[in-house]
Structure 1
Amino acid sequence: MNWPKSDMKSWCSSHESLRVIGVLLLGQLVSLFTALMSLNSSLIAKQGVDAPLTQSMFAYASLALIYGSILIYRHQKPLVSWYWYLLLALADVHGTYLITQAYQYTTITSITLLYCCTIPWSIILTWFFLGTRYSLWQLSGAALCVLGLSVILFSDTGSSGGGSKHILGDVLVILATLFYGISNVGVEFCAKKKDRVEVLCMIGVFGFLITIVEASVTELKTLESVKWSSDNVFCFVGFVVSSFMFYTTTPFVLKLGGATMFNLSSLTTNIWAVVFQVFIYNGKVSWLYFLSFAIIVVGLIIYSTIGKGSLLVSVTTDEKENTKYQLLIDESTASASDSSYD
């Protein structure tokens, strides 16, 4: 049966629209889980517990146990060499460490807004390592988002509440976003080319090993001095559950939309941050936060509607670009033939 070209075009357009809506909805789930992680980290910090590596250790352990069990049930051989996952886990662990450490110094609103720095990092990394190309309009929109971030730095310079050393906290968040950008781009490639269950399992395994070693060196005395209570335990459990759900949904967004789309979608986390700041902490939000958010939204509109290309296309598929990953693909070819894909 031959469909008219107009009907085929209409069907493809409708199918693509549904796919975009699906990615956006998944992105909002990621935003919600990110906000819940931020809330629990902030509550843990307010209770005087400074153990970000320990928080992450339990989150990675949950990934290793759940997704490791799935791989064992499949009898699946590794599709990617272990040291690539080690590098991804190192970036993810230290990104999480820095951003949770930042809660000791600055506010939850500043942290979630400065998290937007992951966007320019993702653009830079996908440009050089995944071969993604962006139009001048898209780059202008991203630059406008960065301009919005500078407003937060200006606001925190003169801020007197919500943290002891605002600028230090802001710098820690920006460094964390660089590590997250590296992790997101790496997970994007592995999720698209390989198996997302294996990605989650191996990040969990190596993340757990890294955090347990580092925590035993840097946080052992801190944990011994903590007066554990039901509130502390509840916040730790909340962080682990929200982290597990965050890591579970992230590969879907990265696979369907790419690292840049993932970080653009997560910007709505700021809305949740403002809600938490007002209703949970009974705090007041500076008008500069709203100005910053407005500038970022305008930048996103320019990026997503005026710029050329679909946000869903974040990795080029031509043979020239794929040769950049030939080493990674060749290393896993032998085991891939005996394994299943999602």
Structure 2
Amino acid sequence: MTKNDINSVFNPVGRLLKTIAMGQVLSLLICGTAGSCQYLADAGVETPMLQSFLNYALLLLTYTPTLCIHRGDANILKILRTKWWKYLLMGLADVEANYMVVKAYQFTTLTSIQLLDCFVIPVLMVLSWIFLKTRYRPLHFVAVVVCLLGVGAMVGADIVAGRNQGSGKDAFSLVFHC
């Protein structure tokens, strides 16, 4: 077996392990964000835009340099010249959605918000497929099914446990508090 044969066998496994590790780190960061948002909401802190600012700053610092070094159609200048308005609309929708999620911590429980968070992934995949013409592999659709099964499992666990979370108090003020 040559060195190239060995690399071709272990390269997909290494990529898979790297992807799983990165997903776990992302999950840990999302969990930290959710916990801190719940803690701040319980303490009476109402700064949803400021709480999301760090996430957006990290995304800017991570992806802008990456897109700047790409060549061809993946370059940031090419993307901004051709699809700037689509990314602007999706960015505005994302900012508003994050605002509403962080604001929701003042009105409901962590479990309810995690349900919302789990459902966001499939919805954003559909929106990016429609508006950004993103194409997904079958593995991505399997991941969406796993997300939806997770949503169902969380709902089922709440039903089995007999929890009545989120009393609904001030539910309409979440929408009209802006």
Q: TM-score range by the shorter chain?
A: 0.5 to 0.7
Shift of 1:68: 10
Shift of 1:77: 7.3
Shift of 1:32: 1.1
Shift of 1:153: 6.8
Shift of 1:84: 3.5
Q: How does 1:62-77 map to 2 (within 5 A)?
A: none
The reply on whether 1:165 has 2:168 as its aligned counterpart is yes
Where does residue 36 of structure 1 map in the other structure?
32
Which of the residues 78, 86, 89 maps onto 1:87? 89
Which of the residues 153, 160, 163 maps onto 1:148? 153
- Give the structure with higher Rg (CA): 1
Which of the residues 47, 51, 55 maps onto 2:43? 47
Where does residue 56 of structure 1 map in the other structure?
52
Q: Distance in 2 between matches of 1:156 and 1:93?
A: 34
Q: Distance in 2 between matches of 1:27 and 1:13?
A: 22
SS in 2 for 1:12: helix
The reply on whether 1:26 has 2:22 as its aligned counterpart is yes
**Which amino acid is 2:78 matched to?**
L
Structural RMSD (CA): 4.4
Q: Distance in 1 between matches of 2:160 and 2:108?
A: 12
Where does residue 78 of structure 1 map in the other structure?
77
The reply on whether 1:132 has 2:113 as its aligned counterpart is no
Q: Percent identity?
A: 28
Q: How does 1:294-305 map to 2 (within 5 A)?
A: none
Evaluate the alpha carbon distance shift between residue 158 and residue 23 of structure 1 in structure 2; reply closer, same or farther with a 3 A threshold. closer
Q: Distance in 2 between matches of 1:58 and 1:130?
A: 27
Q: Distance in 2 between matches of 1:13 and 1:84?
A: 39
Where does residue 105 of structure 2 map in the other structure?
103
Q: Distance in 2 between matches of 1:62 and 1:147?
A: 31
Q: Structure 1 length as normaliser, TM-score?
A: 0.37
**Which amino acid is 1:151 matched to?**
G
Shift of 1:157: 8.5
Matched residue count = 161
Shift of 1:36: 1.1
Q: Distance in 1 between matches of 2:24 and 2:40?
A: 24
Evaluate the alpha carbon distance shift between residue 143 and residue 77 of structure 1 in structure 2; reply closer, same or farther with a 3 A threshold. closer
Evaluate the alpha carbon distance shift between residue 117 and residue 69 of structure 1 in structure 2; reply closer, same or farther with a 3 A threshold. closer
Where does residue 120 of structure 1 map in the other structure?
122
List gaps (5 residues or longer) in structure 1: 173-216, 219-342
**Which amino acid is 1:84 matched to?**
K
Q: Distance in 1 between matches of 2:119 and 2:57?
A: 28
Which of 1 and 2 has higher RCO (CA within 8 Å, sep 6+)? 1
Asked if 1 retains the 8 angstrom alpha-carbon contact of 2:122 and 2:147, the reply is yes
Shift of 1:59: 4.8
Shift of 1:16: 0.4
**Which amino acid is 2:156 matched to?**
V
Evaluate the alpha carbon distance shift between residue 149 and residue 78 of structure 1 in structure 2; reply closer, same or farther with a 3 A threshold. same
Q: What are the superposed Cα offsets for residues 146-177 of structure 1, whole Å, 9 maximum, x if unpaired? A: 533542674799525xx5428x59xx8xxxxx
Asked if 2 retains the 8 angstrom alpha-carbon contact of 1:127 and 1:133, the reply is no
Asked if 2 retains the 8 angstrom alpha-carbon contact of 1:52 and 1:101, the reply is yes
Q: Distance in 2 between matches of 1:100 and 1:37?
A: 9
Q: What are the superposed Cα offsets for residues 72-113 of structure 1, whole Å, 9 maximum, x if unpaired? A: xx9x97332243332232122012112111211222233224
Q: Distance in 1 between matches of 2:125 and 2:17?
A: 22
Asked if 1 retains the 8 angstrom alpha-carbon contact of 2:118 and 2:148, the reply is no
Evaluate the alpha carbon distance shift between residue 153 and residue 84 of structure 1 in structure 2; reply closer, same or farther with a 3 A threshold. farther
SS in 1 for 2:77: coil
Q: Distance in 2 between matches of 1:157 and 1:101?
A: 26
Asked if 2 retains the 8 angstrom alpha-carbon contact of 1:105 and 1:165, the reply is yes
